[in-house]
Amino acid sequence: MALCLTITLIAQDTYKGKFYKNQFYIQTDIKIPKGFHQGYDEDEGLLISINYGAQALIEDIAIMANDDTICFEAIHFPNEEIEWVEITEGLWINAIGQEEDLVDSFHESDEIKMHYAGFLATGEPFDNSFIRNKPLTGKLQWFISGFAIGAINVMPNTIRIIKISPELAYGSRGGGNVPPNSTIYYVIYNLENPRV
């Protein structure tokens, strides 16, 4: 049986970026900015600028290094405009223009390094590494299977949205800030991918 790591924002996860507005969306211990957020990931040397809209939903992300924009993505979430590509039953990734070789399995010992923001289908956030300026790292076996498979289908320096059904997420038990039987979404920025 694989160990599933539930990542939850708790009190010690302090926000380390800069606010340009003083309005917050607050849900239990989570504080996520409404408006423009800018943070610096010292480990990676990245300047991450995020524009948050209503209910702390990400509207766009810009990733910069040495004053060069590596990646910019306008996010339409949650929104019927998203065109989904099914990777495996219960797991989708938003379509982009280029062809990709999508895979539906992973090696448990492979490791990932990425930033992410997790949302419920209602748009309510349940976790966010961007506000901690610290990417998620770990072996794929530590995470829910939908996240592990979805993560390896995001190429480095790419922002994507993945959609995970309850069966590949936290199921009927739920976990952390995720209620039982929830379809969940992640906005992911991948720093490393074991497939590459």
Beta bridge partners of 7: none
Q: Is residue 98 part of a domain?
A: yes
Query: Which two structure tokens, joined as six digits, stand for 66?
Result: 């040495």
Q: Find tokens 């990542």 and name the residue.
A: 7
* Residue range 23-49, pLDDT digits in tens: 444 343 445 556 777 888 888 888 888
Q: Is residue 6 part of a domain?
A: no
pLDDT for 26 equals 36
* Residue range 81-130, pLDDT digits in tens: 788 999 999 999 988 766 778 889 989 999 999 999 888 887 777 888 88
Q: How far is CA 27 from CA 126, 132, 169, in A?
A: 9, 17, 21
Taking Cα atoms as reference points, which of 154, 151, 176, 150 lies closest to residue 165? Answer: 150
**Residues in CB range of 31: below 8 A, 6 or more apart:** 15, 24, 25, 131
pLDDT for 19 equals 38
How many domains does the chain contain in total?
Answer: 1
Q: Is residue 24 part of a domain?
A: yes
Q: What is the CATH number of the domain that holds 130?
A: 3.10.50.40
pTM of the model: 0.79
pLDDT for 78 equals 61
The range of the structural domain enclosing residue 103 comes to 19-192
pLDDT for 150 equals 93
